[in-house]
Chain A
Amino acid sequence: DTGVSQNPRHKITKRGQNVTFRCDPISEHNRLYWYRQTLGQGPEFLTYFQNEAQLEKSRLLSDRFSAERPKGSFSTLEIQRTEQGDSAMYLCASSFANREVSDGYTFGSGTRLTVV
């Protein structure tokens, strides 16, 4: 297993366009998370899946954002009608339930989104 994989690494899009990011977690991990990091800030929680069920969505996740994890494997994060304020690094992480403290999350390298 090569860790958490995120694609694309970089995405530049025009304001108003839709974008979709993909995350492939570590295969045996049953929890998957999306975080967003803007310049000078730490990562902020967006949403969380346990297997295929989306169990929590942050208030940061407006109606333009949707995340899915079909079949409890990879996940996608879609942003519709992008705005300049959506420009950020989008981080995906995975973990094995209840081993977050001993093992930590495993983060991917992120997708850097720039909205122009």
Chain B
Amino acid sequence: DQQVKQNSPSLSVQEGRISILNCDYTNSMFDYFLWYKKYPAEGPTFLISISSIKDKNEDGRFTVFLNKSAKHLSLHIVPSQPGDSAVYFCAALGSGGSNYKLTFGKGTLLTVNP
């Protein structure tokens, strides 16, 4: 049972435009959500996180929005740059005794065209 879902396997945007990556989850017990970026032949790199009690967190060009009632979050990248081309994973962190274990979605391949 996929608890974290990224329904778009790929996304293509033009340089300078906004990239919006979406993620849905089913487990309301998740406390935190994190986004990771992964280049080929490298491990995932942490980008940004958000607590389940917040609805927005911003860090430079990256903003994550959380809609808890819809169990939906999104990562906005503005403006998109060719170097942002990578696979983006949405991940959720459990609560209480599982507050160390990440549950990942399948990822979305973002391609930013020059």
Partners in one complex: yes
Q: Which among A35-43, A68-76, A80-88 touches the partner chain?
A: A35-43
- Chain A interface residue number, banded: 20 to 34
The answer to whether the Cβ of B17 comes within 8 Å of any Cβ in the partner chain is: no
The answer to whether the Cβ of B102 comes within 8 Å of any Cβ in the partner chain is: yes
**Contact surface of B with A, Cβ cutoff 8 Å:** 4, 6, 32, 34, 36, 41-47, 49, 51, 89, 91, 93, 99-107
The answer to whether the Cβ of A103 comes within 8 Å of any Cβ in the partner chain is: yes
CB distance from A58 to the nearest CB of B (A): 9
In the assembled complex, which residues on chain A have CB atoms less than 8 Å from the CB atom of B43? 4, 91, 93, 107-110
| A100 B93 Cβ-Cβ under 8 A | yes
Q: Which of A31, A35, A42, A105 has the most CB of B within 10 A?
A: A42
Q: Which of B41, B91, B102 has the most CB of A within 10 A?
A: B102
Bound CA span A34–B105, Å: 17
In the assembled complex, which residues on chain A have CB atoms less than 8 Å from the CB atom of B45? 107
Pick the residue among A45, A101, A103 that contacts B32 (CB under 8 A). Answer: A101
| B89 A42 Cβ-Cβ under 8 A | yes
In the assembled complex, which residues on chain B have CB atoms less than 8 Å from the CB atom of A103? 46
The answer to whether the Cβ of A8 comes within 8 Å of any Cβ in the partner chain is: no
**Looking across the interface, which residue of chain B has its beta carbon closest to that of A42?**
B104
Bound CA span A45–B101, Å: 7
**Looking across the interface, which residue of chain B has its beta carbon closest to that of A48?**
B100
Bound CA span A5–B41, Å: 13
| A31 B100 Cβ-Cβ under 8 A | yes
| B106 A101 Cβ-Cβ under 8 A | no
| B101 A109 Cβ-Cβ under 8 A | no
**Looking across the interface, which residue of chain B has its beta carbon closest to that of A110?**
B43
| B101 A104 Cβ-Cβ under 8 A | no
The answer to whether the Cβ of A102 comes within 8 Å of any Cβ in the partner chain is: yes
Bound CA span A81–B46, Å: 34
CB distance from B5 to the nearest CB of A (A): 10
